[in-house]
């Protein structure tokens, strides 16, 4: 689906335990907002008949027959819906523990997290429910909407809704969400209740329906950025007037005539010319891809380098203090992938453990699977780094051990 150029697009990361209804929710919202064509709806009905099931809205979303048969969503999936002046890109990430790294990839693109929790008996709040919340907050998501699903299966019981809300409230606060940035909405994804219109079966609920709640957060949610210039470079390309350094602005703005520093080497230069989308400009801003002609040829390796304002530079260091979510065994031959570049680690020292289901720190010096750790990572060479809360692109990395995915790290300082 394509959006109008003037329409604001917000990413919504859907989180939650398996079988709690994420795909059903997306399918119902696609239908209720008119984003699903009648052809797609008819196809989903036909698949339901083939499987001898009642109509399942989730089949509108799933792309492969084997996924429908297996009744689990395999890959991170995006679906887009429009509401008022905004488009929501719903990122459906797997809820199964063996696919946790896919979930991390999906959540890292979210502006807002939408957690689906089933109110059905014997489902409710699980360890994985809390783990997904922990990861979302760790990755910098600040706004959270909790959709308490399957209310139709418990007779729309307000008490059960409040039980789930109260059961998550303390944990949500402990891991760093502000209470004013969290909302709970009771829904029935299968019946399409309280998604776009208020449900007549839940008159006790006085809040907005789900899409209105997401819209309210999206209108106020915006990624905070620092003023200092940060450009992550991809390399250099030749031009008639000399070499152009290409990269993306991840913080601040760049202007012609500006004095900059190329890190980690520390080479000084002046911006002579800026090109954005093939046109010469005097200034480029956060989020734009740029080609810069500098007043001198940069000698250092440019891939993964950082161009910063000369007066305000990120730290250049071979020691990283980070919180790492552990997804595999961390060995001595570890490598971090940082802005597209592989950098060998001399040592990964675990300082303490962090439970992803309670948020509590502990004295463990072992990196346990699906838990988090505070750690010091000593690299083979220096790189420009910054706290994740200041510049995300300079404050995160992926850890590999023995060429296997072992974790994702968030730099604290």
3-state DSSP call for residue 134? helix
Q: Is the pLDDT of residue 192 over 60?
A: yes
In the chain, CATH 2.40.30.10 covers: 230-309, 315-411
Are 255 and 286 within 8 A, CB to CB? no
pLDDT at residue 71 in the model? 47
pLDDT beyond 70 at 3: no
pLDDT band at 403 (very low <50, low <70, confident <90, very high): confident
Superfamily for the 230-309 domain: Translation factors (2.40.30.10)
Residue 299 in this model has a pLDDT that exceeds 70 = yes
Distance CA 382, CA 401 (A): 20
- The 10s digit of each residue's pLDDT in 324-353 is 999 889 988 899 999 889 999 999 999 999
Phi, then psi, of 295 in degrees rounded to 5: -80, 0
User: In this structure, are residues 312 and 252 in contact, taking their beta carbons and an 8 Å threshold?
Assistant: no
Q: Are 323 and 100 in contact (CB under 8 A)?
A: no
Span 363-391, average pLDDT: 93
If you average pLDDT over each of 31-40, 86-95, 153-162, which comes out highest? Answer: 153-162
Phi, psi of 101 (to 5 degrees): -70, -30
CB 17 within 8 A of CB 123: yes
CATH architecture of the domain with range 8-220: 3-Layer(aba) Sandwich (3.40)
How many CB atoms are closer than 10 A to CB 259?
Answer: 12
Say how far apart CA 116 and CA 125 lie, in whole Å: 10
- CATH 3.40.50.300 domain locations along the chain: 8-220
Using alpha carbons only, give the angle 150, 19, 208 rounded to the nearest 5 degrees.
Answer: 40
Nearest to 94 by CA among 70, 125, 123: 70
Q: Mean per-residue pLDDT for 144-148?
A: 96
268-279 per-position pLDDT tens digit: 999 999 999 999
Q: Is the pLDDT of residue 5 over 60?
A: no
CA-nearest of 80, 78, 77, 79 to 7 is: 80
Residues in CB range of 15: below 8 A, 6 or more apart: 22, 93, 95, 103, 107, 113, 114, 115, 116, 132, 133, 136
Q: Record the pTM.
A: 0.78
The terminus-to-terminus CA distance of the chain in angstroms comes to 40
Contact 352, 362 (CB under 8 A): yes
Q: Which overall architecture, per CATH, does domain 315-411 show? A: Beta Barrel (2.40)
């Amino acid at each position: 689906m394509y959006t109008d150029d003037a329409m604001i697009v917000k990413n919504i990361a859907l989180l939650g335990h398996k079988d709690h209804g994420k795909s059903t929710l997306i399918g119902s919202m696609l239908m209720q907002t008119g984003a699903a064509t009648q052809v797609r709806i008819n196809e989903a009905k036909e698949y339901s008949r083939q499987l001898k099931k009642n109509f399942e809205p989730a089949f509108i979303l799933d792309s492969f027959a084997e996924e429908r048969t297996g009744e689990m969503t395999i890959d991170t999936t995006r679906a887009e819906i429009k509401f008022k002046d905004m488009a929501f890109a719903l990122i459906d990430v797997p809820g199964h523990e063996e696919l946790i790294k896919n979930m991390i990839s999906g959540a890292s693109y979210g502006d807002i997290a939408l957690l689906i929790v089933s109110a059905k008996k014997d489902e409710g709040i699980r360890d994985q429910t809390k783990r997904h919340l922990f990861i979302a907050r760790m990755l910098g998501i600040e706004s959270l909407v909790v959709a308490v699903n399957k209310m139709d299966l418990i007779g729309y019981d307000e008490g059960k809704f409040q039980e789930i809300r109260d059961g998550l409230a303390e944990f949500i606060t402990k891991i760093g969400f502000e209470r004013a940035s969290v909302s709970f909405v009771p829904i029935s994804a299968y019946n399409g209740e309280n998604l776009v219109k208020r449900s007549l079966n839940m008159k006790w609920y006085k809040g907005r329906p789900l899409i209105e709640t997401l819209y309210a957060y999206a209108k106020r949610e915006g990624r905070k950025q620092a003023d200092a210039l940060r450009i992550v470079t991809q390399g250099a390309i030749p031009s008639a007037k000399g070499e152009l350094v290409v990269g993306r602005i991840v913080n601040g703005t760049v202007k012609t005539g500006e004095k900059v520093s190329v890190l980690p080497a520390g080479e000084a230069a002046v911006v002579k010319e800026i090109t954005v989308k093939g046109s010469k400009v005097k200034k480029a801003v956060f989020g734009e891809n740029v080609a810069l002609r500098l007043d001198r040829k940069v000698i250092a390796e440019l891939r993964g380098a950082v161009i910063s304002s000369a007066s305000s530079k990120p730290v250049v260091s071979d020691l990283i203090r980070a919180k790492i979510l552990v997804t595999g065994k961390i060995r001595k031959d570890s490598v971090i992938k940082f802005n597209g570049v592989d950098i060998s680690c001399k040592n990964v020292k675990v300082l303490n453990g962090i439970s992803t289901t309670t948020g509590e720190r502990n004295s463990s010096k072992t990196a346990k699977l699906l838990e988090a750790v505070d750690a010091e990572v000593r690299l083979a060479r220096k790189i420009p780094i910054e706290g994740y809360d200041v510049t995300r692109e300079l404050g995160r990395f992926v850890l590999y051990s023995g060429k296997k995915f072992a974790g994702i790290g968030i730099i604290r300082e």
